[in-house]
Amino acid sequence: MSPTRSSILSTADARRPLVAAAAMSAFAQKGYHGTTVAEVARVAKISPAYVFKLYPGKEALFVAAIEACFDAIIETLEEGADAADAARPEQVLDAMGDAYARLIADRTLLMLQVHAQSVADVPDIGTALRAGIARVTSFAKSRSRGADEQVQRFIAYGQLCHLIVTAQIDGRPEEWASILTAGMSHPV
């Protein structure tokens, strides 16, 4: 029996998240400019032609990776909020921050965000990055019911967390490093 058009579309729809996950991994290592579609295809264990069938180009593939990245972040923040000891905004935000710190211990999602920031001047990538940041900010605001200043501090600490992890500042003996890492913890 030959496959119907709807079953082919279903297969393509089922493959998109797998290819987006492969794209997250590949782009996180070498960034947008340093990664080829062929490298993403190799990680996904499919042909480059099939990647192009799913995504019209490298930019669309990178956008899909960004969207998948922020999906994972929102899921993690939700798990953190669910685990909060109390419903006060600062406790919910702290629990979400702890969950996020555990998530980026893997560095894939962290590095993808860093690479996305570095090419945010590419229109569709910048749009996807801002949409992801908007989702995180809106989720933090609605879930914690915190004041704008509390949510801003939460986002700012997240960016500081990125800096500490990417620049490998945690555990350094210098005073400046101690100032930046005071009260911050990052699972290894």
Place of tokens 């965000």: 113
Query: What predicted TM-score, i.e. pTM, was given to this entire model?
Result: 0.89
Alpha-carbon Rg for the chain, nearest whole angstrom, is: 19
Q: Does 44 fall in a domain?
A: yes
In a domain, 186, yes or no: no
- Work out the pLDDT band at 105, boundaries 50, 70, 90: confident
pLDDT tens digits, one per residue of 69-79: 999 999 999 99
CATH of the domain at 83: 1.10.357.10
Query: Which residue's structure tokens are 């986002």?
Result: 155
Contact by Cβ (8 Å): 66, 32: no
pLDDT value at residue 147? 97
Mean pLDDT calculated for residue range 84-110: 92
Helix, strand, coil percentages (3-state) for the chain, rounded to 5, are 80, 0, 20
What are the angstrom distances between the C-alpha of 52 and each of 1, 36, 38, 123, 128?
27, 12, 10, 20, 19
8 A C-beta contact, residue 91 and residue 85:
yes
188 in a domain, yes or no?
no
